[in-house]
Amino acid sequence: MTTQQTPPPATPTDGPEPSPAAGATHRRSAVAPGAVSLDLAAQAPELSNSVGEYLRAWVKRIRSGESGLLPVVGGLLILGIIFQVKSHYFLTAGNLTNLLVQGAVFVLLGMAEIWVLLLGEIDLSIGYVAGIGGVVTAILAAPPDNFPWWAAILIALAVTAAIGALQGALVILLGLPSFIVTLAGLLGWEGVLLYLVNGHGTGGTIRLSNSVLLDLSNGNLSPVASWVVMVAGVAAFGAVTILRDRHRRVSGLVAPPMAVSVAKVVLVAVAGVGLVLITNVNRSVIGNLRGLPYVVLIILGFLAAWTFVLGRTRFGRYVYAIGGNPEATRRAGVSLGWNRLWAFTLTGLTAGAAGILYTSRLGSISNNIDGGTLVLYAVAAAVIGGTSLFGGRGRMVHALLGGLVIATIYNGMGLIGLAADYQYMLTALVLLAAVTADALARRGRAKA
């Protein structure tokens, strides 16, 4: 492995993805904190010295085309209003909770795709790689193997991670386009999936009988446990956010104003309270079905872990740097091959997790899984959320928001009785709008 001599600059807290220019800005502000102009702050609002300056810089970035999460959040609100007008059932607690469960697979597939999109690559095979993750889990957990549920999951994730590593190695060592390698993977892994299902299933289906595996997507915490987990999560987020920003200020590094840090914690707390209030409503007509679904905790766990890896580790900064300017990163002494290989590996691992949740939700895995559609949803979730197709820009929260947009379209159109053809067309229009916005913003940055 190439010796890593001079790492790329650190990522500003919750700011834009790192680039050489952003790193230079970071170092200048550390030398002379307080001497930051509004023009400089507009590049990263974290460089602002006051709330007013932070807000002005944020507005300036929006006007310049850097709208961040606003379009997708606004799109979610508009879709929610439209579907509620068409069907009064849409905003009920039962349907919103069901929407979260439906969107979990889209979100995880979007996270899987983001790892390679940040490099400027793409993976067209993750739909069937996810399916293999579900198949391996179902086979190992069923007779005659009867593996413990946790062992079946670990082995399945190891298999899909190895698939990602294999495809990454072909791209890196042979210099093949990732589009071609993963397109071949889409066909090849579909064949493997059919072979496994037909060899171990009955009637083209492998049923999941392990209660723990079934509960991954269908089980819930108790109402009391839901509140405990929410309070603990918000407290942890608040402590990390405020202490981290305070430490950066004391060290003379850039950080948002304290009021902004507190506002972030308050927003997360409000969202957490709303989530628990919704999921604690009884969603069953004949029984008692309340509590936060386990799958929501799984998604939030992946979101926290992968966000930390991308934003707080050397590897994450290298991924952004490689996607932004691979030649400059190579000249800085960074091993492009190893870091790209790890990104492809994490793509396979995350796709495997999505496949396990997919199998858990359906209670089975069959040979008619549409991996081609799943990969399109994966790319759509990442790009609709705000990740760039051109590399170097994106965050895991983009997959969360993009996946919720797709789940909202899927759920809402089902409620109002529209067929799948309309769902596909609307999703395509939303995706096209997101890609167009990304291209225009990129053009605006280039002119600036």
Q: pLDDT tens string for the chain (448 positions)? A: 444 444 444 443 344 444 443 443 343 333 333 333 334 344 455 555 566 776 777 677 666 656 667 778 888 898 899 899 988 899 999 999 999 999 999 999 999 999 999 999 999 999 999 999 999 999 999 988 889 999 999 999 999 999 999 999 999 999 999 999 999 999 999 999 999 999 888 888 999 989 999 999 999 999 999 999 999 999 999 999 888 888 887 877 777 778 888 888 999 999 999 999 999 999 887 878 899 999 999 999 999 999 999 988 999 999 999 999 999 999 999 989 999 999 999 999 999 999 999 999 999 999 899 888 899 899 989 988 888 888 888 999 999 999 999 999 888 888 888 777 777 788 788 778 777 776 776 666 666 5
Mind listing the domains of the chain with CATH numbers? 17-64 (no CATH), 71-206+313-447 (1.10.3470)
Task: Using alpha carbons, select from 112, 50, 41 the residue that is nearest to residue 402.
Answer: 112
Q: Tokens 């502000």 — which residue?
A: 29
How much is the pTM?
A: 0.84
Count CB-CB contacts under 10 A for residue 356.
30
Q: What one-character DSSP code corresponds to residue 365?
A: E
CA gap 261, 245 in Å, rounded: 7
Burial string for 66-88 (b: 16+ CB within 10 Å, else e) reads: beeeebbeebeeebbeebbeebe
Q: Provide CB contacts within 8 A for 84, sequence distance 6+.
A: 90, 91
Going 294 to 403 to 360 to 302, the CA torsion angle's sign is: negative
Q: Which residues contact 298 (CB under 8 A, 6 or more apart)?
A: 104, 216, 353, 357
Give the separation between CA 44 and CA 67, rounded to whole angstroms: 13
As a whole number of angstroms, the distance between CA 7 and CA 319 comes to 11
Q: How many residues does the chain have?
A: 448
The two most distant CA atoms of the chain are separated, in Å, by 70
CB 39 within 8 A of CB 46: no
